[in-house]
Structure 1
């Protein structure tokens, strides 16, 4: 009996055709099925219709830009997002992460680095779904097998990266994690990244699980060090 191989589909949203072609070719050579679109409206329609496993999203799209696409997609989908950003767009990178993007690559970039980032995000997405562990701290419950989170019995939707971050903290309430340790936990591989990305992901998780995000009860800052989950 021959089993059909599972195909991982990546949606590439890039209006510069030469960059789109290079990204497409490298991803295909890495074994991914690739869909390419060149504008924001087509990206949103494609996420709805094809349900890709991951989206590579250029923030500098004409018309409906990448931030607007990420904002719209995050209203109804947890599809992992890797952003492509210009070198000077630090503010856009942080906003994109706060909107729920999982990672970013700065232009000009190595196509091999992009493939590595895509694989890393997919790896942690799959890792978050493995096992049947149910973690509980305070009134927060994290079901790693079903990739579900509940706060006081209320379901909470998290992106794969946010889920992995919260699971890491809830697994050891009271333990202080540095930003570097949290980056290692959510990426699963030692790749260069931007530690302020952790702050953006933490802000997102707080917005979703905290009764008052500005005065957190669960996910606490340890100034000068990092973060910890409140002792149970």
Structure 2
């Protein structure tokens, strides 16, 4: 049975999640503060952690950093904080997704299924991508769309490779810039917008109704290829 640790100081949220997630076959472990959450995560080794940022004994951002010192599973932040800065910081600190309160049960369940699918195959790095329309061979650097080869620049290909490596997960602008352009370019978001725009054009991906690259405004991007909607 998949174990989910819920770290939240609101009893009604914990109760709701226990009922909602339990009805889907998940085993729920509860923690009302950061200290208990750290103990429970070490003791029970949950398959997924759902956590709030506003905790009574420690800020959630600090808790995320502490968790990532030993916990390698997925973490979904569930918080009333909705600023871009909070989202980016949480994702940079190791969160795999961010859901705002109030939230819909179906949306949260879909996010949980998505990150669990991703982590189920995390030990097997992708060698490519093929959905019958877009085909990418990461070893030969060959990319085709509808059976026709398309040419990507080195930076465009590195962007696509990074997206494919994190299906369904938000990759922040800073993560992409550091990985592809280097640590000295972590704030050069105009570079990123230009190259993402070029990549989208070559993949014939409409940014207003994306098939592959979805924008999380002010935060980063999510590769939706092969991800259930």
Correspondence for 2:50 = 56
Is 1:37 matched with 2:31? yes
Provide the aligned length of Structure 1 versus Structure 2. Answer: 175
Normalising by structure 2, what TM-score? Answer: 0.63
Could you tell me whether the CA contact under 8 Å between 2:5 and 2:49 is conserved in 1?
A: yes
Correspondence for 2:120 = 126
Is 1:13 matched with 2:17? no
Aligned residue for 1:129, secondary structure, equals: coil
Equivalent-residue separation in structure 1 for 2:140 and 2:53 (angstroms): 36
**How far is the alpha carbon of 1:184 from its aligned partner?**
7.5
Correspondence for 2:166 = 186
**Root mean square deviation of aligned Cα:** 3.6
Label 1:25 to 1:65 Cα distance change in 2 as closer, same or farther (>3 A): same
Gaps of at least 5 residues in structure 1 are 1-6, 136-167
Equivalent positions of 1:36-115 (< 5 A) are: 36-115=30-109
Label 1:105 to 1:172 Cα distance change in 2 as closer, same or farther (>3 A): farther
Equivalent-residue separation in structure 2 for 1:172 and 1:17 (angstroms): 53
Pick the structure with greater CA Rg. Answer: 2
Aligned residue for 2:71, secondary structure, equals: coil
Gaps of at least 5 residues in structure 2 are 129-135, 142-153, 200-229
Equivalent-residue separation in structure 2 for 1:183 and 1:85 (angstroms): 25
Q: What is the aligned counterpart of 2:176 among 202, 207, 211?
A: 202
Correspondence for 1:214 = 184
